[in-house]
Amino acid sequence: MSRRLPLAGLTVVALEQAVAAPFATRQLADLGARVIKIERDSGDFARGYDTKVRGMASYFVWLNRGKESVVLDLKSTVGREALRALVSSADVLVQNLAPGAVERLGFGPDDALELNPRLVHASISGYGRGGSYEQKKAYDLLVQCEAGLLSLTGTPDGPAKVGVSIADICAGMYTYSGILTALLDRAVTGKGDVIEVSMLEALGEWMSQPYLYAEYGGSAPPRSGAQHASIAPYGPFRVADGTVFLGIQNDREWAQFCRIVLDRPELVDDPLFAGNARRVDQRAALHEAIDQVLQHLPAEQVLARLDAAGIANARLRTMAEFARHPQLEERGRWRTVDTPVGPVRSLIPPVSSRSVDLSWGSVPELGQHTASVLAELGIAPTDPDRLTPTADPGTRNR
């Protein structure tokens, strides 16, 4: 007997592009919501970001399973009529158009809730409503800069961006959780709500620890590459056949590390490394002492010693190695998703539940569901040209 889908019966209308909003709505689709994705004739920008998944974009395959793709020209009477019909009966509207664009279309928060008082209206923007940055273009790397993240990542020689779209991802996560919160509240009040998330503020929340460190400590955490800025030893170390990462959390672990991993018990009481603050100050000497031992040992032996000592450690894995990670294989965390180019192996979302299941819908072709959705609405696509957008309605943030 299949387990229940917690959002089954809910309808989400998505005026979305790129990463942040699609990440939020894909998670709603995973939980059983019907997500109707409104696209222009050339499709979501993310459809063209790359061609690595048998000709499809890896971004699009990741973010859009389980959705229905409907192509509408939101500048046309027919397109707005269709969108109005969808919004009037939807549970959630999610949008990440350029600031002011959804209002110009007639589906801003006030208009949409007047049309449908039970609607949860969720907007993602780069910098939020109001303020001098409201109209500023906001892409993931640029928000990483504005939030101060690049002041922490990289090395003393220069900054480095985070290798995934972290500002988009965290904005999408907060939008997703905000929508779920609003739906819970609606179950009590019977009323919808307006949710707003900015990429800057979402990533800013994740920057709170380094902000507090700098604001009240008098100096910012230094860029330290893969090393931890305020704990040592913590990071990558050369071994005979590669690199091993390890992290020491306290003096007890330091003593175990010296005795079991390095086989140098005399370092436990060396005043040069007495306490974490001293080890951070003396990082160069500390690493030299560690390298003298580890660089002559193979990775398997070092990892075995670290495990024996109860020291946290990790391999530096490539994407190919991650794809075959033994823990994910042993826990059965992979499933296939259907796409227009065939089945694709994908990770199961990280939250597991004993009582609810996840939907595992297909990745849609562009406009695959246009005719069927319009038929549901009683709108006959008698003039296909009027349903095909000729211009982008104004998407901006990623």
pLDDT tens for 23-80 read 999 999 999 999 999 999 889 999 999 999 999 999 999 999 999 999 999 988 889 9
State the catalytic residue, choosing from 121, 228, 296, 369. 228
Q: What is the pLDDT of residue 224?
A: 82
The whole-angstrom separation of Cα 192 and Cα 195 is 10
- Give 228's pLDDT tier (boundaries 50, 70, 90): confident
* Arithmetic mean of pLDDT, 298-322: 94
- Give 219's pLDDT tier (boundaries 50, 70, 90): confident
The whole-angstrom separation of Cα 92 and Cα 192 is 9
Enumerate residues 6+ apart whose C-beta is below 8 A from 191.
117, 118
Q: Would residue 296 show up in a list of annotated catalytic residues for this protein?
A: no
Least confident of 152-156, 258-262, 325-329: 152-156
Tell whether the model's pLDDT for residue 391 goes beyond 60: no
* pLDDT tens digits, 345-386: 999 999 988 888 889 999 999 999 999 999 999 987 655 444
* pLDDT tens digits, 109-167: 999 999 999 999 999 999 999 999 989 999 999 999 999 999 999 888 889 889 999 99
Enumerate residues 6+ apart whose C-beta is below 8 A from 242.
299, 316
**82 closest CA partner among 389, 363, 395:** 389
The whole-angstrom separation of Cα 20 and Cα 95 is 10
Q: What is the pLDDT of residue 59?
A: 96
Tell whether the model's pLDDT for residue 245 goes beyond 70: yes
Task: Report the SS3 class of residue 114.
Answer: helix
Residues 122, 179 contacting (CB under 8 angstroms) = yes
CATH code reported for the domain at 11-207+328-387:
3.40.50.10540
Q: What is the pLDDT of residue 225?
A: 82
**61 closest CA partner among 345, 353, 384:** 345
User: Which of the pair, 4 or 337, is modelled with greater confidence?
Assistant: 337
Number of CB atoms found within 10 A of residue 225's CB: 14
Tell whether the model's pLDDT for residue 226 goes beyond 90: no
Amino acid at 293: V
The whole-angstrom separation of Cα 77 and Cα 85 is 12
Look-up of token digits 């913590």 = 234
Instruction: Report the predicted TM-score, pTM, of the whole model to 2 decimal places.
Output: 0.88
The whole-angstrom separation of Cα 88 and Cα 111 is 11
In what side-by-side order are the strands of the sheet with 11-15? 67-71, 34-39, 11-15, 92-95, 120-125, 193-198
The whole-angstrom separation of Cα 110 and Cα 106 is 9
As annotated, the residues of the chain forming the CATH 3.40.50.10540 domain(s) are: 11-207+328-387
Percent of the chain with pLDDT over 90: 81
Look-up of token digits 């539940």 = 353
The whole-angstrom separation of Cα 168 and Cα 221 is 24
Q: Which residues in the chain belong to E strands, given as ranges? A: 11-15, 34-39, 67-71, 92-95, 120-125, 154-155, 158-159, 193-198, 234-239, 242-247, 312-315, 334-337, 344-347
Q: Which residues in 137-293 belong to E strands, given as ranges? A: 154-155, 158-159, 193-198, 234-239, 242-247
Q: Which two tokens stand for residue 293?
A: 């031992």
Peptide bond into 233 cis (omega under 30): yes
Give the orientation angle of helix 199-206 with respect to helix 166-189, to 10 degrees. 100
The whole-angstrom separation of Cα 200 and Cα 130 is 13
Q: What is the pLDDT of residue 157?
A: 87
Enumerate residues 6+ apart whose C-beta is below 8 A from 45.
17, 18, 395
Look-up of token digits 């990289």 = 154
CA 26 to chain centre: 11
Q: Is the dihedral of CA 361, 365, 368, 370 positive or negative?
A: positive
Q: What is the pLDDT of residue 2?
A: 58
DSSP 96: -
Q: What is the pLDDT of residue 220?
A: 87
Tell whether the model's pLDDT for residue 254 goes beyond 80: yes
Task: Report the SS3 class of residue 336.
Answer: strand
**Residue/partner pairs of 50-59 with CB below 8 Å, 24 or more apart:** 53/339, 53/341, 53/344, 54/339, 54/341, 54/342, 54/344, 55/341, 56/339, 56/340, 56/341, 56/363, 59/18, 59/19
Tell whether the model's pLDDT for residue 392 goes beyond 70: no
